[in-house]
């Protein structure tokens, strides 16, 4: 189980490093005019690097922490579905062509601060949806391997948010600081500001 937790933390480290301004600036120097493909490469690697983690998780024998009741299973599935729906709704607020990296002609930098849609209610609705999703899976199937995924994914998301917000302050300055003050980080007003 430690190998699975380590794999998730390594994935998060690589993901955050590749999203950093330092790494992007380095990639821009190396890639030159091909830097316009960076976001596509980033997303492709983010997907491909998940494959060995999921293979590792599937190869680990299930060891239940407790017997999940029918009601707990139903609640867990409901939580998981809510996480998926939240991520889907949050993605509707973005230009998916640009978000995926398939818009090669657009600048890689954010040019305006988005604060509409779900971003009016929380600064990181995609991350919040992922948190709900991974913990919903654990509620549905309380196994050590699901806990060994949920904990490091949670740690990574909070660390990722920290670095992403530092980057957003660099890009948007006081405008983003005001947004941080006015809008909760992960959930509408009642959780985690």
The CATH number linked to 150 is 1.20.120
Residues 190, 130: Cα–Cα separation, whole Å: 18
User: What pLDDT was estimated at residue 99?
Assistant: 76
Contacts of 137 (CB under 8 A, 6+ apart): 76, 80, 146, 149, 150
In a domain, 48, yes or no: yes
Contact call for residues 122 and 188 (beta carbons, < 8 A) = yes
Q: Which residues on adjacent β-strands are paired with residue 63?
A: none
In a domain, 191, yes or no: no
CA dihedral (100, 104, 110, 116) positive or negative: negative
pLDDT digits (tens, 9 = 90+) for 117-135: 899 999 999 999 999 999 9
pTM: 0.85
| Greatest alpha-carbon span in the chain | 56
In a domain, 78, yes or no: yes
Residue 10: give the domain boundaries.
2-182
In a domain, 188, yes or no: no
In a domain, 190, yes or no: no
Q: What is the DSSP letter of 35?
A: G
In a domain, 37, yes or no: yes
In a domain, 9, yes or no: yes
Residue of 62, 45, 44, 55 lying closest to 137 (CA atoms): 62
Residues 176, 161: Cα–Cα separation, whole Å: 14
User: What pLDDT was estimated at residue 189?
Assistant: 58
User: What pLDDT was estimated at residue 193?
Assistant: 43
183: tokens are 């809008």
Low-confidence ranges of the chain (pLDDT < 70): 104-111, 189-193
In a domain, 189, yes or no: no
pLDDT digits (tens, 9 = 90+) for 159-180: 999 989 998 998 899 999 999 9
User: What pLDDT was estimated at residue 22?
Assistant: 87
């Amino acid at each position: 189980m430690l190998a699975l937790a380590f794999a998730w933390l390594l994935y998060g480290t690589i993901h955050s490093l590749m999203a950093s301004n330092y790494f992007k600036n380095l990639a821009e120097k190396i890639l030159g005019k091909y830097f316009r493909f960076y976001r596509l490469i980033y997303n492709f690697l983010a997907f491909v690097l998940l494959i060995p983690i999921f293979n590792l998780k599937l190869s680990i024998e299930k060891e239940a922490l407790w017997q999940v009741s029918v009601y707990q299973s139903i609640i867990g599935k409901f939580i998981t579905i809510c996480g998926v729906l939240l991520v889907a709704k949050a993605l509707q607020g973005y230009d998916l062509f640009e978000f995926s990296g398939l818009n090669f002609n657009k600048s890689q930098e954010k040019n305006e601060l988005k604060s509409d849609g779900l971003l009016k209610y929380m600064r990181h609705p995609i991350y919040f949806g992922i948190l709900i999703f991974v913990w919903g899976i654990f509620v549905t199937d309380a196994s050590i391997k699901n806990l060994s995924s949920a904990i490091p994914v949670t740690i990574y998301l909070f660390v990722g948010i920290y670095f992403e917000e530092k980057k957003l302050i660099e890009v948007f300055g006081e405008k983003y600081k005001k947004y941080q003050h006015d809008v909760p980080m992960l959930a509408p007003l009642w959780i985690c500001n």
